[in-house]
Amino acid sequence: MKLKHLFFFTPYYEQNRGNSTTAKRIVAGLVARGIKVTVFPYEEASWDEEWDERFAEADLYHILHLRRFAEWRKQRDGLEFLKPYVLTSGGTDVNEDLKNREAAKLIQSVTTQSCAITVFSEDGRSKLLHAYPELTERIYVIPQSAWLPDPDYEMQIPIHPGWPKLLLPAGLRPVKDVFYIWDELKRMREKWPELTFTIIGAALDEKLFAEVERRRQKYDWFHYIQEVPLACMRSVYEQFDLVLNLSKSEGQPMALLEAMAFGKPVVARRNPGNESIIVDGETGVLFDQPGQFPALIEQVLERDEWRRQLTERARLFVEAKHSVEQEIAALLAVYDHCLQQVSRK
């Protein structure tokens, strides 16, 4: 049986955040292969009879984010999945939600009946298997790809001048730990008085957003831009000197892959998700403690030839290991496997 129509469940599609980027990238790749894709953003849209009809017409279902979807499905007992479905971890579900017993039990309610589960890294696979050893035969590691759509209109994002300009693409939520290096940044201003620090991302946590606004008003070198259309991020990266990741945990950081693809040096807090794409000193720079940050930034900024080699190796790495073509081909192989199982029954 050949896949003709896929029904894609994603928590977000309109709001610019990691899950929507993943969903848009996969959908674009599948549509380019001639597959019809129906997208239902279950945290943004309401289910009705029209969705019921589209759901019934699909050959296969693909679901993004285990815990969020399990919560949504729990409220819809009458919705039966009579065709196979593939799950994809969103990152936080494996790195954070599995630590909570109730959330882990909820996740198991959707993994048990799945045909396949895809994760972005070996670390994600290990964490799922530790929680659910019985899933050994159905977990596939499919790395994310670096992808930004071409803009269909001109939109200038105003970026404050300075040097060096540090960018942190991150939605405002506790796991992103956006102020992890704050004290170091204040001290670094003594050496680089024109240094700026900019966060770009959706305001997802009210308390954290209030703190961001308080600091933004107090410090003229700290800037916050809420949401930027995905198609505009290409021009945003071009205007910064370094791209950062400060998260406590990551699935696989899309923003770093995008920055690496565009030749920008990346500096990231060490965690398994960041380590899945950064070889320290080869394709980027990793650090373990805030106190290490200033010296590493100084190396990146002042060692011109090393920085050039760093960014070139990173660009080639993304090109070789994280292409859209590779990701879509791997997903199509998983879909074929699931549909073949149906044909055998």
Q: What is the pLDDT of residues 120-138, one digit of tens each?
A: 989 899 999 999 999 999 9
Least reliable range by pLDDT among 8-17, 48-57, 241-250, 278-287: 8-17
For residue 18, the tally of other CB atoms under 10 A from its CB is 26
Model pTM score = 0.86
Identity of the residue numbered 317: F
Residue 235: what pLDDT? Answer: 87
Cβ contact 91:80 at 8 Å: no
Query: If DSSP codes are grouped into helix, strand and coil, which group holds residue 32?
Result: helix
Residue 151: what pLDDT? Answer: 67
Mean pLDDT of the chain: 92
Rounded CA-CA distance 31/37 in Å is: 7
| 28: nearest Cα among 335, 296, 327, 314 | 327
DSSP 283-328: TBEEESSGGGHHHHHHHHHH-HHHHHHHHHHHHHHHHHHS-HHHHH
- What's the pLDDT tens digit per position in 196-220? 999 999 998 999 999 999 999 999 9
Rounded CA-CA distance 247/258 in Å is: 17
- Domains of the chain, CATH where assigned: 5-145+324-344 (3.40.50.2000), 165-321 (3.40.50.2000)
**Among residues of the chain, what percentage have pLDDT more than 90?**
77
DSSP 69-115: HHHHHHT-TT----S-EEEE--SHHHHTGGGSHHHHHHHHHHHTT-S
HSE of 251, CA atoms in CB hemisphere, 13 A:
28
- What's the pLDDT tens digit per position in 46-60? 999 999 999 999 999
Work out the average pLDDT over 228-248.
91
pLDDT exceeds cutoff 80 at 342: no
Rounded CA-CA distance 338/181 in Å is: 45
Residue 153: what pLDDT? Answer: 59
Work out the average pLDDT over 167-183.
96
Work out the average pLDDT over 142-148.
89
- What's the pLDDT tens digit per position in 79-122? 889 899 999 997 788 888 888 999 999 999 999 999 999 999 89
The dihedral formed by the CA atoms of 289, 291, 297 and 300, expressed in degrees to the nearest 10: -60
